[in-house]
């Protein structure tokens, strides 16, 4: 807050008044700090302080300061303007007063000064306590307490046996056996389709030639084998295949005798 | 003098070698679960009360330290702790008496901004620690003092802060708005009329 | 107890803060020329004789130290239950079933290298002990289980360990990859459900 004031000592013009502060300007940390210092020259309890008198003191001080040094920190001038406003408000007839009332503004200022003063006092008392390393001392090189954590290993027999079982299982030679899958062989399908197609006089869907257990694992294999069987039988001229379009159902029927072999659709 | 039993002796020895103020829970790890630890601590504190070395409790931690009246005997040139600036001292006091407190609240009391370095110095010293955030818009960090603060300044707890009770009773630790409500806002003008 | 006078208290405090054992001459620098220092030292040594901290003189230098019977307090060992890692468990199992075995043999059976720490842990646990050297080129160390191993696992002898037939009957020899396949299939299904 005392930026720009440098190390210059600022003293008031020689006006030896007892309530006047004549110390360097950069002694203060800001307007509130300065106000508190001025207030304490009133030598009364801060609760009894006269805000009007304090305002006079502050404005006098700033006036004096400006005669010597024009570049006063803005904060101090803002506070001066605010205090001048507060002073005039306090002197106005009551009914013309604005909200918040000047009394409340003055009280707020007073409370702030009390609070700052209380903390300044508390800081001084705190610093004056018996402090470790200044007033009281602890051992300079304590040996220190040592807590050595020793692992207590836990394991049970089942874990041990299971571990061994897993090693043996993991390292056993692996034998691969190929599982026999439920399939319909092509021969089976040819036999089945050629037997059934003889009974079908009209176009019949391929699915009708499948065994009845369509949900069984054999179903897909039966469908594929029956399709290949149909192609084979058609090639041999023993049946005809018809399909209306791609992915449409396939229809089969027994070949009529005049059809030439190999003629499909 | 009553001969100290082995439990008391163990507590005494552990406190003696501990590198920092130690909690009863930490002591328990060393002296075992048996034995009346609170009673032992009180007995020891009594025993050392009038001596050159005292046993003290600071923020729930115990340690031996020399009696304060012997400072002149023991102080050495290099012992003087780093001097805090006035700003740092005031900021520390505000944190201690108002904790937890935000930077803005500190500034409201001091009437000036808190320089960046001020809180850093206090945190570096180990006396001040961040204590979470205030759940208000902006969620400002709030600060509080640490157990190191208590032990450094010889306080058993924050209740021992000098003048704490008086300040609280006088409402000087309350926010100004709260204080205004209590006062009714009348007294100033009367004073000024004097 | 006689109240210690200020000179005695100063000596006591100076001894307490001293960084190292201190000579009476050095003590004088702190406590001043007045006062009967030899008498004070003897009085203090007497006072601390039966306590957890004693004042002792070693080669003309004095210092406080903890009573020697309390060393266990200052360096406390604390048991921390810990579970063996899978690698350690497998290694232990191989040693138990095949002892005495060398590290190379353990690795051959496990199909994986054995980390140095694994055998250390087993030796630390007290369940495995070195059992001499195998008289083959390189003379490798061989390992066996200990009596503690048997008692910890509740076995009266190694013959109590279940044999291969028992393991197979318990399903413990089921190939792992089959078990994994089962798991894999399950997880695929779960994913399909998403």
Task: Decide if pLDDT at C143 tops 80.
Answer: yes
Chain A residues close to C18, C-beta within 8 Å: 140
Percent of chain B with pLDDT over 70: 90
Residues whose CB is less than 8 angstroms from the CB of residue C5 and which lie 6 or more positions away in sequence, other chains included:
none
Q: How far is C148 from chain B (nearest CA, A)?
A: 27
Domain with CATH 1.10.10.10 in chain C: 6-74, 81-155
d(CA C94, CA C102): 10
Right CATH for B6-74 from 3.40.50.2300, 1.20.1250.20, 1.10.10.10, 2.40.50.140: 1.10.10.10
Q: How far is C183 from chain A (nearest CA, A)?
A: 16
Which pLDDT band, with edges at 50, 70 and 90, does B78 fall under?
low
| Yes or no, beta carbons of C93 and A143 under 8 Å apart | no
Q: Which of B11, B29, B74 shows the shortest C-beta gap to C13?
A: B74
pLDDT of amino acid A26: 66
Task: Decide if pLDDT at B52 tops 50.
Answer: yes
pLDDT of amino acid B98: 96
pLDDT of amino acid A69: 61
pTM of full prediction above 0.80: no
The verdict on B110 touching A (C-beta cutoff 8 Å) is yes
Q: How far is A219 from chain C (nearest CA, A)?
A: 22
d(CA A33, CA A127): 20
Q: How far is A22 from chain B (nearest CA, A)?
A: 20
Residue with tokens 């009770």: B165
Least reliable range by pLDDT among A125-134, B76-85, C182-191: C182-191
pLDDT of amino acid C194: 33
**B131: enclosing H helix or E strand:** strand B128-133
| Cα pseudo-dihedral B60, B64, B67, B71, rounded to 10 | -110
- The subunits that touch chain A, with at least 3 C-beta pairs less than 8 Å apart, are B, C
d(CA B141, CA B114): 14
Of all residues in chain C, the one with the smallest CA distance to A168 is C173
Percent of chain C with pLDDT over 70: 88
| Yes or no, beta carbons of A29 and B151 under 8 Å apart | no
pLDDT of amino acid A66: 64
Distance of CA C101 to the CA centre of its chain: 26
Chain C residues close to B52, C-beta within 8 Å: 4, 8-14, 16
Average pLDDT, stretch B14-30? 93
pLDDT of amino acid C66: 92
d(CA B87, CA A231): 100
Structure tokens at A98: 């604005």
Right CATH for C81-155 from 3.40.50.2300, 1.10.10.10, 1.10.1060.10, 1.20.1440.120: 1.10.10.10
The verdict on A122 touching B (C-beta cutoff 8 Å) is yes
Structure tokens at B16: 């003696």
pLDDT of amino acid C95: 93
Structure tokens at C68: 């020697």
pLDDT of amino acid B144: 95
What are C32-83's pLDDT values in tens digits?
A: 888 899 999 999 999 999 999 999 999 899 999 999 899 888 888 777 788 8
Q: Which residues of A147-176 are buried (b: 16+ CB within 10 A; e: fewer)?
A: eeeeeebebeeebbbbbbbbbbbeeeeeee
pLDDT of amino acid A3: 38
- Cis (ω within 30 of 0) for the bond into A100? yes
| Yes or no, beta carbons of A134 and B68 under 8 Å apart | no
ipTM of this complex:
0.71
Question: Which residue positions in chain A have pLDDT lower than 70?
Answer: 1-26, 66-72, 95-98, 173-175, 200, 213-215, 257-265
Chain B residues close to C64, C-beta within 8 Å: 16
pLDDT of amino acid B187: 44
| Yes or no, beta carbons of B53 and C4 under 8 Å apart | no
In A86-133, beta strands by DSSP E: none
């Amino acid at each position: 807050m005392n930026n720009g004031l440098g190390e210059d000592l600022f003293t008031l013009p020689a006006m030896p008044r007892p309530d006047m502060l004549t110390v360097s300007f950069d002694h203060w940390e800001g307007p509130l700090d300065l106000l508190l210092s001025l207030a304490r020259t009133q030598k009364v309890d801060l609760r009894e302080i006269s805000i009007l008198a304090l305002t006079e003191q502050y404005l006098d001080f700033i006036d004096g300061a400006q005669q010597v040094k024009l570049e006063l920190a803005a904060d101090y001038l803002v506070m001066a303007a605010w205090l001048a406003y507060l002073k005039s408000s306090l002197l106005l007839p009551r009914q013309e007063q604005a909200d918040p009332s000047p009394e409340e503004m003055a009280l707020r200022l007073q409370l702030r000064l009390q609070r700052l003063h209380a903390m300044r006092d508390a800081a001084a008392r705190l610093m004056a306590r018996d402090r470790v390393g200044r007033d009281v001392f602890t051992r300079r090189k304590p040996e220190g307490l040592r807590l050595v954590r020793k692992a207590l290993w836990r394991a049970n027999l089942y874990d041990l046996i299971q571990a061994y079982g897993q090693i043996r299982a993991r390292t056993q030679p692996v034998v691969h056996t190929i599982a026999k899958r439920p399939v319909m062989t092509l021969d089976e399908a040819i036999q089945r389709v050629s037997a059934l197609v003889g009974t079908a006089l009209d176009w019949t869907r391929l699915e009708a030639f499948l065994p009845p257990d369509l949900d069984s694992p054999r179903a897909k294999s039966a469908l594929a084998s029956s399709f290949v069987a149909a192609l084979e039988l058609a090639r041999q001229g023993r049946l005809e295949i018809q399909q209306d379009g791609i992915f449409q159902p396939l229809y089969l029927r027994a070949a009529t005798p005049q059809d030439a072999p190999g003629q499909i659709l | 003098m009553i001969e100290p039993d082995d439990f008391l002796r163990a507590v005494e020895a552990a406190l003696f070698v501990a590198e920092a103020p130690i909690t009863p829970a930490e002591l328990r790890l060393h002296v075992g679960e048996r034995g009346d630890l609170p009673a032992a601590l009180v007995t020891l504190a009594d025993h050392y009360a009038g001596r050159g070395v005292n046993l003290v409790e600071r923020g729930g931690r115990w340690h031996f330290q020399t009696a304060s009246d012997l400072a002149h005997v023991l102080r050495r040139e290099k012992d003087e702790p780093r001097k805090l600036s006035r700003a740092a001292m005031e900021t520390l006091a505000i944190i201690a008496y108002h904790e937890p407190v935000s930077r803005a609240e500190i500034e409201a009391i001091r009437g000036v901004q808190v320089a960046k370095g001020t809180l850093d110095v206090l945190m570096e010293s180990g006396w001040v620690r961040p204590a979470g955030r205030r759940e208000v818009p902006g969620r400002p960090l709030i600060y509080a003092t640490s157990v190191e603060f208590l032990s450094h300044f010889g306080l058993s707890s924050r209740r021992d802060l000098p003048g704490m009770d008086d300040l609280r009773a006088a409402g000087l630790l309350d926010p100004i708005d709260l204080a205004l409500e209590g006062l009714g806002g009348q007294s100033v003008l009367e004073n000024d009329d004097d």
